[in-house]
Amino acid sequence: MVQPLVRKIVTYAEEVLIEGRREVPRPTRFAAAAAVIRSPWRGDKFTEDLKPAILSHATLLGELLVPRLMDLAGGAAAVEAYGKAAVVGADGEVEHASALIHTLRFGNMLREAVGGTSYLSFTNKRAGPGCSIDIPMTHIRESGTRSHFLTISFNIPDAPADDEIVIAIGAATAGRPHHRIGDRFEDMKEMGISSNNTVLKEG
């Protein structure tokens, strides 16, 4: 199997101390770790079966990124929200970006590291060098907790090149500072909506 050809690893972190002109109750840390890789499907006109490259890449990318993200976040126990993203260069398909993050071989590594049960929020798109890499996040266990509907954004000036894919994961150590809009479960209770109504529950 072809192993991932990693050109660079990029990490990003920020710590929020003041929001809305008020100090936050405790500093909130946002962190991301990304790998810039050569696309395993570069140069192909169309690849019907993406699975061989998924099998050879996804687990190794998780092993590469998850420990770095945990270090940036201050340890797995500190993580309250998480997400993932992939950006394919101009010569690739969005499906190529999707393939490497939408597999349990990748996502479960982050989920298991932090004891999460929620799905990992995601973005996958095609773009060029310097584009915004946006990682949406939700609470690691309580997906309806709106305080943890978050996004971490950063960019890599020289990536992705046309034949590359950027694979990224993100984490936050708390919800939005001074969050005060409640959560969807409160809305459901106020509106008399049954918890069995999965469509409205996910809205």
Domain of 151 in residue numbering reads as 6-176
- Decide if 123 is inside a domain: yes
Query: How many folded domains does the chain comprise?
Result: 1
Tens-place pLDDT, residues 148-196: 999 999 999 999 999 999 999 999 999 999 998 877 777 788 888 876 6
- Decide if 202 is inside a domain: no
- Decide if 190 is inside a domain: no
- Decide if 24 is inside a domain: yes
- Decide if 194 is inside a domain: no
Tens-place pLDDT, residues 107-138: 999 999 999 999 999 999 999 999 999 999 99
CB 94 within 8 A of CB 88: yes
How do 132-139 and 81-88 pair as beta strands? antiparallel
Does this model's pTM top 0.75? My answer is yes
**Closest residue by Cα to residue 84 from 133, 14, 139, 51:** 133
CATH code assigned at 11: 3.30.1330.110
